Amino acid sequence: MTPISFDDFLKVELRVGRIVDAYEFKEARKPAYVLHVDFGEELGVKKSSAQITGLYRPQALIGKLVVAVVNFPSKQIGPLMSECLVTGFHDADGNVALCVPDQPVPLGTRLL
């Protein structure tokens, strides 16, 4: 583990968003979905590629709150420009379980 300062942590903007669209990312090398995540009025809707096909189906993702990094530079993933990084944890089988708030919070709320 590499220690970081609290100031380093504060540079990472982890925000809550709601998935408003999800569909198969057919051009991805590994199974993935394209997610459209609404972060509220200030940040709007951002796109992301997420390798979460093991535990989730696209229609079940619509409306789900997620935690994402919103201040990384955009990244080209095949034909998709990914604008945020949706967070999650690997389970014992290597599937990704999304990091989600356990209570409703306003879209765009920053994790501190």
- 83 and 34 in contact (C-beta within 8 Å)? no
Q: How is the chain split into domains, by residue range?
A: 11-98
The whole model's pTM is what?
Answer: 0.95
C-alpha atoms less than 13 angstroms from C-alpha of 91 in its C-beta half-sphere: 10
Check residue 112 and give its pLDDT: 84
C-alpha atoms less than 13 angstroms from C-alpha of 35 in its C-beta half-sphere: 31
Sign (positive/negative) of CA torsion 63, 93, 67, 104?
positive
CA distance 17 to 19: 7
Architecture of the domain whose range is 11-98:
Beta Barrel (2.40)
35 DSSP β-pair partners? 22, 48
Nearest residue to 51 via CA among 69, 30, 36: 30
Q: Can you give the pLDDT of all 112 residues of the chain as single tens digits?
A: 999 999 999 999 999 999 999 999 999 999 999 999 999 999 999 999 999 999 999 999 999 999 999 999 999 999 999 999 999 999 999 999 999 999 999 999 999 8
